[in-house]
Amino acid sequence: MGILSRLRRRRPGGPATPGRPAPISDLATRHLTEFATSRRGVEAWVEPATKVTGPTLLLVAYDGEWTRRSIPTPSWGHSFAEHLGLPGYDAGVVGYPQRMRDWNSSQKDR
């Protein structure tokens, strides 16, 4: 196998290739569900794929605590949020909440 073939090969859990979404593990689904159901005021931001990563789902709680996981498609992220009754947003359209940035700043002080 040549070097270019190795570079083109998709790593498990890596970004999606055209026509084939990246898999989401049961562990990631459980983590997102646990985060959303164990915190108050959780909202979902669906992040589009980039050249480096596939689409991701960002969950932010009322206090700014957050988590992010890879998802198969943006529509999967919106369906997940709807299934749990979470408000869902497109990150590229709405942007991120200030409470998330405030929470990140407070964690640096610890």
Q: Distance between the two ends of the chain, CA-based, in angstroms? A: 48
Positive or negative: CA dihedral 21, 41, 27, 101: positive
* Per-residue pLDDT tens over the stretch 26-70: 888 999 999 999 999 999 999 999 999 999 999 999 999 999 999
pLDDT (0 to 100) of residue 1 = 55
CATH class of 23-108: alpha beta
Annotate 40-59 with three-state secondary structure.
CCCEEEEECCCCCCCCEEEE
pLDDT over 70 (residue 7): no
Task: Give the amino acid at 79.
Answer: S
* pTM (two decimals): 0.77
What are the boundaries of each domain within the chain?
23-108
Could you give the residue ranges of the DSSP H alpha helices within the chain? 3-8, 26-38, 74-84, 91-94, 98-108
